[in-house]
Structure 1
């Protein structure tokens, strides 16, 4: 591989104009495609095949005219009466009616809801917007009338009315559901302004009004500042590393071009598939970090090769052939970890992984081709713009024999490896302890910032109606194959479910036109974030078997709470297979790179330490609120752990490859095991430290994002890189390598024979270059 990459690097340096033109054409084409083919992003947490999704699909099949609750556009106005009054007081009724008049004037409100109930027909009045007091009165009368006709008890009628009523039992809190025309993606700032303007009418008359719902949800879009912060810090680190303003800028140029192509490519993809709003942000976060790092490694090796040859194209070829080999394998480990997220079976998570893997692939290709081309364009000015007091130190060769800080550090590690090994393991173990309290959930109004109107609306509903009102469950009863009449089957299901612990009320709310399928509203006694609610979901599903055996009826349970629980179960079930695929493939890859059993094994164990410490730190900061960094501690997003494991594994193997391949190179070229550790670390520590600081800065900058998932994943990735690069790869791994000695490079002979030799350390390349030089000298002397 090193030989092929050597030729690519040398070609790119010499044919710089052609290579640069190709990449610029790709950039322009992606830009045109993004401008003409892009579509809206769509956040969906559905998982095909789960029980909740199957119930959702059955409901869509049997009730084709019913709106999709997961994609409908609506706003909920939650109203609270001033202290000492109720919403039924005349002044409060007037305030609500004035607000409703303003709501009806909004263009995008559905026409059926705009009808004035005072002049509407009975059919129209059923869909018209009314205040909670009037809605409660009409609903109570309707249920009492139905109960009298059906012979149902007044207690059941009252319970059913209360479950659907938009007015709390004490009359102090109520809500109004307002349907809008369009889908969730149609919500915009103008719509939100009109919604809030209507709320201000009632607020001005003394009511506390908070608004939630898909139409009123404020967009949490990245502003681009985080990327600029990461790039700015990277520029400083690169300037210190190279001691040159020009050299510091080159990796940034290639990285910006890379993330531009990657993000534009993802934008093009939105025109052909449903991608979440977080997908491009995560791809940019990861793509930017690895793009700078990969270019940094090749640039650093290029500078080193310039001390060995005056031929700059030769130096570029050697840099790409050696450091480029490490870049290829490091990139492959990240790509494997990201693409393998498809094993989990969650579409939006697979899309995130694929998009991020695409940006990593672009970063690798640009580092191998565009970077040497740009080096060719700058020529001898590639390291121009020397920074006083830094240039000389930055260009000092590690081969000069001077006792650098890295050399003194690694010498101390090699002399007494047991102490730093134990210290590093104990430190990471202590950091991992808070992870035992890990709690997961999906983003919702319940986990929102308490300062937002949507979260305050949620809290008002919880206070006025009880937790179950915020998280009702929906049952879909299928009586097509029932042994009794459908109506009797529906009643039997409702009666059975009403008797279960944790059910406040169960009732039929809609029957399809064929009369064989019903929607059942189940109000739990606990809220959507309470573990008892998920236990109730399990009990509801377990009760189906008995009803199926006795009367041949079946039903499914869905709703936001059920969907969240199924996602958590799916993620938990997929974790072991995912880890097996990722770790297995990466282990084989590292086996090829290092031709050793123990080096990949210790690399993987080191990863487990760093990821456990990362979980502990993230739980402590974001869930428990330690250090006061987060004002709204909440459970972590349920799919963050598996996504974090995939990304961290890939990045952890990056540093393993970059640092240990240099040790492998020295060992192959004749140094003993401890000398190889010392020399390899001395060569690579400075650039790996710079790369880690850049990644930490890029990821850490995303903590400023408003989106809770982006914020937490940015922190977690920054923490993971810190733990892995500076504790695992620079303390634990060198200690283990020193303790193992020659055994670190042990490989069974039978395995050595069947493994292909990818020559990542460039031994074949060195032999070819020596042969070419000897042939050139022989021709000259002749």
Structure 2
């Protein structure tokens, strides 16, 4: 590979303008493809075959009118007074307009619904009053009949005593028949009343359990208009949502504001914002400081921007044919910028060092591409494999994120090893500052050999031990909050406080209760095909069981199938959709099925769907983490030909990963330093963040381990004592790793201040994870542990040494095949020391 990249670099340098033109053409093609085929992004996340989707699929067959997704429009008077008659009429007219939209199943007029509910309550109250009056009349009539029977019995006894019974019998029998007929009619009325009593009682109970489900607030100043869509929640076309929003925005009502829930209006984050630009500026400053020239600093930025342009536009071009969530291209942008700058920096830094050592321009370009470029390809391959491995989770949107991220990494690598050599040829010696070029000229004229490197002394064992203990203790301490990690998806409460989604959420919470923002849909299966009375009784029984559960505020039947065997209930939790009590409620209800051993139930709804997604991602995380850790061990054993080094490097990655999660939990879940990081509403952590963080941080950690550890390996292989080799390796790689890490942190940190609640914690997790892994794990912990192990750090079983291929990551064999002879005639290594025969 090193030889191929050497020749590729030289070929690209010779045809520099052609290579540049090709990449610009590729960028143009990506832009045209986006313009022609790009679709819309979504913030809705779905996973097939979850309990929620299974219930939704069954509803589509049994009860299609209740299977569609819903969204809320919160209408509120500006002065806080009750709606006027004119405002109510205008809102009702807009409801009819919304009903007529394509893709809308129904739009519920809040005022008509409240009127119907009040009418139902009145009817039940009137029915109960009539029943009570009827029962009183029946009791009075029964008392009269009893009195008449007593009188008739007394008369019969008198007549019989007087011996006149045969003469009076016909008259007495007729009176008895009248009494019996009256009693029979009375008992029939009593039986009818007995049948009505349970039904009225059940109706009253259902109304009582549903009394917290209001469409108009108690003070009359706020109304909730519910839109029912034809498609399920996760499949509603954005065009349909936009049409609903347009109805209420274009026809504004005087004195009334309209805000839309996240189910209707979901904020799609912009690809680039102010924070991202600030991150790039900081990266540019780091490059200028490190490279000492604007041209040198600009070259990594140019290649990275071309790469992310191709990657992001290419990904967006596919958004018209695949379901793509809004985070996907933004993640590609993050990775493309960060690794694009770093990978080019590695090659440019090697090229500059070689030029200062007297290499010819094209010779240096080829050698830099074959050595550092080889390391870039290997490092990029580790990130790419880790991201592609996200597909093994079986979660489509996560696999797509990994694929897009991997594609952006692949583009960054290709640009680094083709476009970078071309640009280096075009800029020529200007990649060095004037002072550096003058220094080279003076050295060439004077024939002065390079100065010898300062002697290297290993660190003390005591300092190594203290450093290792302090680093591990610090990482474990920072990781403690990760034990309290709760995952979920952002809801309206996590949106910016000036957004319509947040206003809708907060208004609903204030006027109707938090649970109104995350209602659940519970579907029950009734045995056989019940009669109307049996169905009503079953509904009341099921509703009462649901209502009695902790965390339930209200329950109401919302529909049943034609045969009455499937019944749907709206269940309103006491707290919001991302609360722990709502999560517990969903699991509790599912565990209760079948209710009373009779009714099979299932739970659906947006809140339920988000809980299912979090659960499935949590289940997939340990498997994915195990795959990545195993991959890490294999790769590092191959590179460093050691058992100890891969183990401590992988454990270091695990520490930095959980420490990064701990920082995320402390800030975004607990609310620490909320003002600094613009966390307006702390809550559960984005449910796919822990998984995506594994893949990305693993790849970046391997990059830093490669550039630090390979220097140690190279020094040790060339005869340096193991503990001296540790210091030499750190010295050789620390400047480029420091710059690369600062650039990574700057780029990722720019996304911490994104307008999107989904992007901010991802940016922070990556920035904080890179910061800890580069400066604590790779710069402090690994060198300390390597020093403590001494020569044993490089132990490898002989049988394993024989079967492992020789992976020349740094391209040392390439340097031997293409040596550069200094004027003094002696080949020197990069540190200016005399070479020593390598040892295995």
TM-score under structure 1 length normalisation:
0.85
Following superposition, the deviation at residue 194 of structure 1 comes to 6.4
Following superposition, the deviation at residue 332 of structure 1 comes to 1.9
Question: Radius of gyration: which is bigger?
Answer: 2
* 1:120 counterpart residue number: none
Alignment of 1:485 with 2:530, yes or no, is yes
For residues 744 and 647 of structure 2, the distance between their equivalents in structure 1, rounded to whole angstroms, comes to: 25
* 2:85 counterpart residue number: 94
* Deviation larger for 433-442 or 320-329: 433-442
For residues 99 and 593 of structure 1, the distance between their equivalents in structure 2, rounded to whole angstroms, comes to: 72
Partners of 1:592 and 1:755 within 8 A in 2 = yes
Q: How has the CA–CA distance of structure 1 residues 402 and 671 changed in structure 2, closer, same or farther, with 3 Å as cutoff?
A: closer
Equivalent of residue 100 in structure 2, options 108, 111, 129 = 111
Q: How has the CA–CA distance of structure 1 residues 385 and 621 changed in structure 2, closer, same or farther, with 3 Å as cutoff?
A: farther
Equivalent of residue 461 in structure 1, options 483, 486, 508 = 508
* 2:644 counterpart residue number: 598
* 1:53 counterpart residue number: 53
Equivalent of residue 518 in structure 1, options 561, 564, 567 = 567
Following superposition, the deviation at residue 66 of structure 1 comes to 5.7
* 1:428 counterpart residue number: 475
For residues 543 and 128 of structure 1, the distance between their equivalents in structure 2, rounded to whole angstroms, comes to: 33
* 2:601 counterpart residue number: 555
Task: Kindly provide the CA deviation profile for residues 122-149 of structure 1, in whole angstroms up to 9, marking residues without a partner as x.
Answer: xxxx9676453x5312223246658968
Partners of 2:106 and 2:228 within 8 A in 1 = no
Aligned-pair Cα RMSD in Å: 3.6
* Deviation larger for 410-419 or 503-512: 410-419
Aligned residues, how many?
Answer: 734
Partners of 2:371 and 2:812 within 8 A in 1 = no
Task: Give 1:338-417 correspondences, 5 Å limit.
Answer: 338-383=387-432, 400-401=451-452, 412=459, 416-417=463-464
Q: How has the CA–CA distance of structure 1 residues 99 and 704 changed in structure 2, closer, same or farther, with 3 Å as cutoff?
A: farther
Alignment of 1:541 with 2:590, yes or no, is yes
* 2:44 counterpart residue number: 44
Following superposition, the deviation at residue 504 of structure 1 comes to 4.1
Alignment of 1:185 with 2:238, yes or no, is yes
* 2:170 counterpart residue number: none
For residues 622 and 428 of structure 1, the distance between their equivalents in structure 2, rounded to whole angstroms, comes to: 19
Following superposition, the deviation at residue 301 of structure 1 comes to 1.1
* 1:632 counterpart residue number: 680
For residues 389 and 568 of structure 1, the distance between their equivalents in structure 2, rounded to whole angstroms, comes to: 60
Partners of 1:230 and 1:698 within 8 A in 2 = yes
* Deviation larger for 594-603 or 95-104: 95-104
Q: How has the CA–CA distance of structure 1 residues 490 and 471 changed in structure 2, closer, same or farther, with 3 Å as cutoff?
A: farther
For residues 213 and 640 of structure 1, the distance between their equivalents in structure 2, rounded to whole angstroms, comes to: 20
SS in 1 for 2:322: coil
Task: Kindly provide the CA deviation profile for residues 574-599 of structure 1, in whole angstroms up to 9, marking residues without a partner as x.
Answer: 11101011111222112111111111
Partners of 1:336 and 1:585 within 8 A in 2 = no
Task: Kindly provide the CA deviation profile for residues 429-456 of structure 1, in whole angstroms up to 9, marking residues without a partner as x.
Answer: 3322333443332111133344434333
TM-score under structure 2 length normalisation:
0.79
Equivalent of residue 138 in structure 1, options 107, 113, 116 = 116
Alignment of 1:495 with 2:541, yes or no, is yes
For residues 392 and 536 of structure 2, the distance between their equivalents in structure 1, rounded to whole angstroms, comes to: 39
Q: How has the CA–CA distance of structure 1 residues 324 and 104 changed in structure 2, closer, same or farther, with 3 Å as cutoff?
A: same
Equivalent of residue 702 in structure 1, options 738, 746, 751 = 751
For residues 571 and 241 of structure 2, the distance between their equivalents in structure 1, rounded to whole angstroms, comes to: 33
Alignment of 1:201 with 2:254, yes or no, is yes
* Deviation larger for 17-26 or 435-444: 17-26
* Deviation larger for 757-766 or 741-750: 757-766
Following superposition, the deviation at residue 696 of structure 1 comes to 0.9
Alignment of 1:247 with 2:296, yes or no, is yes
Partners of 1:243 and 1:390 within 8 A in 2 = no
For residues 389 and 235 of structure 1, the distance between their equivalents in structure 2, rounded to whole angstroms, comes to: 25
For residues 679 and 714 of structure 1, the distance between their equivalents in structure 2, rounded to whole angstroms, comes to: 33
Partners of 1:38 and 1:270 within 8 A in 2 = yes
Alignment of 1:302 with 2:351, yes or no, is yes
Alignment of 1:758 with 2:811, yes or no, is no
Q: How has the CA–CA distance of structure 1 residues 415 and 504 changed in structure 2, closer, same or farther, with 3 Å as cutoff?
A: closer
For residues 633 and 242 of structure 1, the distance between their equivalents in structure 2, rounded to whole angstroms, comes to: 42
> Which consecutive unaligned segments of at least 5 residues does structure 1 have?
114-125, 778-782
* 1:286 counterpart residue number: 335
Q: How has the CA–CA distance of structure 1 residues 675 and 321 changed in structure 2, closer, same or farther, with 3 Å as cutoff?
A: farther
* 1:419 counterpart residue number: 466
For residues 228 and 520 of structure 2, the distance between their equivalents in structure 1, rounded to whole angstroms, comes to: 20
> Which consecutive unaligned segments of at least 5 residues does structure 2 have?
128-195, 442-447, 827-840
Partners of 1:34 and 1:267 within 8 A in 2 = yes
Following superposition, the deviation at residue 297 of structure 1 comes to 0.6
* 2:15 counterpart residue number: 15
Equivalent of residue 369 in structure 2, options 311, 320, 324 = 320
Partners of 1:140 and 1:158 within 8 A in 2 = no
Partners of 1:490 and 1:518 within 8 A in 2 = no
Q: How has the CA–CA distance of structure 1 residues 540 and 188 changed in structure 2, closer, same or farther, with 3 Å as cutoff?
A: closer
Partners of 1:597 and 1:746 within 8 A in 2 = yes
* Deviation larger for 452-461 or 360-369: 452-461
Q: How has the CA–CA distance of structure 1 residues 175 and 224 changed in structure 2, closer, same or farther, with 3 Å as cutoff?
A: closer
